[in-house]
Structure 1
């Protein structure tokens, strides 16, 4: 490996000083001749990081081949294009170690030009950023978890009101644009106050979680969306679903609750947990609003509760 072509320096500071300075840092210095694309220097620290001997770095081909296949194309293309343009740049990628592992590396590149302004060489430093990447990935995972939590109901784990409002707006717009029906079903656990008073709030929370888990099975298609509307009320959003099909979904949900046989000794409607349901369907026109659809479903839910509960109102 040829010696690095150091810049002019004070007579008091010899080349050995600069060599020692470069090789004592954890960053790995390197230099490439642009005309031949050959390494004219790379620091001995490279062997400690990647395991490849210092004198095995002959040309940019060695650099490219010792890169993760998923990073190679974009990293090489980017670095070459920036170098041709004479632009200083940096790139993060996974470098292959001699024992077959990968290390995250950041290459910081400075383009050296001759007196005519032509690219003459590339000088850079390679940094091990593996630990930083691990921290970044962990923070990204935590951020994703926080985002998911912000759209989930803390008790039941199903979608919360914030997510429900977003989904309703989106599906309403889709239904209006595509002239497709949109149905929503509102559920209310019958006599839930009596359940809480009789069994206690802890058991009441368990009941809410159990009912939510059962009703979420009504969302059988990818775009069906189930959420907690508030208190003991839930909502199922059914895109591209007409009233007749939505009735079948509601009836299936009612059957699932019945099969679960959740005891409710304090219910005037029977000895099991039951549901009141209000269903509304619309193929929205330009001036229609999602609030009107929700109001219709809520009104029908209220009528189902007033008419003896454990029932579904889907029209009128």
Structure 2
């Protein structure tokens, strides 16, 4: 048995007919959504309409939205120039667009809004009006900001030594590359101080790895107190080796700082007493200063200074060797 044919009855109006006969249907639908509809007359820059939902969202009465000046005045000052300039330029060009910004509430708080704008042209192709919807995107923005915060936190963790809390090798490599380029441009000196704790394996054998971790952390904290300019970097280079990146630091200043490091490490008074070591923990240091020019690379410089560290170790430890 075949299915009966379905025909539209001529006496039943279509949806389009219903809207045409009763424009209030449009208004009812618009005002029942959470989105806030609005219309602006382009010539007068006045609101022809804005949905009553605006009062529930921002607290401003529906009738208080008279001109675009009211819209601009209720926008966060930090967003105003960017958003207004963009929306005006796009509207003049007859391009539909959208913009995110913070809208001021009557209580003095701010709500994140996404404005979706459609440009209406007349028969001659001239902009006649703007029609749009405002959406509350505060929850979305909070989620985005939280994701961004977590991303930054993870990025920071990826650049930080987990034990000592100072920069790790990855961050040092990034900063060395950046400061090498800066030194090439500025012709300012760039210095490195590399230090290694003397007989650290014997220290761990004598006192245990927990004490070894505490030793590394105390020395890292002390080094951070010496190299404390904004662009200085103190990093754990690996194991018991640390490195200081010192932009715009000449050879004399680098030597003085290396000497201070050596003196302060011994002044910490960390008992060593391991085989072949002295009574207190000490360090050997390599120091170098570069004026970046020619074909030399940051890697070449780093290797040369690191070689001076091992020369200090071969020379008896607890000493400084200069490149």
Note whether the superposition's TM-score is higher than 0.5: yes
**Aligned match of 1:53:** 61
**Aligned match of 1:155:** 163
Moved over 4 A (4+): none
1:107 aligns with 2:93: no
- For residues 244-271 of structure 1, give each alpha carbon's deviation from its aligned partner in whole angstroms, at most 9, with x where no partner exists: 2211110111122122212223263322
Query: Quick one: which of 4, 10, 32 aligns to 2:16?
Result: 10
Query: Quick one: which of 258, 262, 271 aligns to 2:266?
Result: 258
Displacement of 1:306 after TM fit?
2.2
| 1:112-151 alignment, distance < 5 Å | 112-151=120-159
Q: Distance in 1 between matches of 2:220 and 2:287?
A: 18
**Aligned match of 2:87:** 79
Query: Quick one: which of 170, 194, 204 aligns to 1:196?
Result: 204
CA contact (8 A) 1:176 1:286 kept: no
SS at match of 1:286: coil
C-alpha spacing 1:172/1:79, structure 2 compared with 1 (3 Å): closer
SS at match of 2:18: coil
**Aligned match of 1:3:** none
SS at match of 1:271: coil
Count of residues in correspondence between the two structures: 308
C-alpha spacing 1:66/1:171, structure 2 compared with 1 (3 Å): closer
Q: Distance in 2 between matches of 1:267 and 1:260?
A: 20
- For residues 260-307 of structure 1, give each alpha carbon's deviation from its aligned partner in whole angstroms, at most 9, with x where no partner exists: 212223263322211111112232431223333223222221222223
C-alpha spacing 1:19/1:173, structure 2 compared with 1 (3 Å): closer
**Aligned match of 1:35:** 43
SS at match of 1:227: strand
Alpha carbon RMSD of aligned pairs, Å? 1.9
Unaligned segments of structure 1, at least 5 residues: 1-8
1:272 aligns with 2:280: yes
Q: Distance in 1 between matches of 2:95 and 2:237?
A: 55
CA contact (8 A) 1:23 1:44 kept: yes
C-alpha spacing 1:62/1:240, structure 2 compared with 1 (3 Å): closer
**Aligned match of 1:5:** none
C-alpha spacing 1:34/1:216, structure 2 compared with 1 (3 Å): same
Displacement of 1:46 after TM fit?
0.7
**Aligned match of 1:242:** 250
C-alpha spacing 1:33/1:181, structure 2 compared with 1 (3 Å): closer
Q: Distance in 1 between matches of 2:133 and 2:149?
A: 30
SS at match of 1:12: helix
CA contact (8 A) 1:267 1:273 kept: no
SS at match of 1:100: coil
CA contact (8 A) 1:269 1:308 kept: no
C-alpha spacing 1:215/1:29, structure 2 compared with 1 (3 Å): same
Q: Distance in 2 between matches of 1:180 and 1:57?
A: 58
**Aligned match of 1:211:** 219
SS at match of 1:58: coil
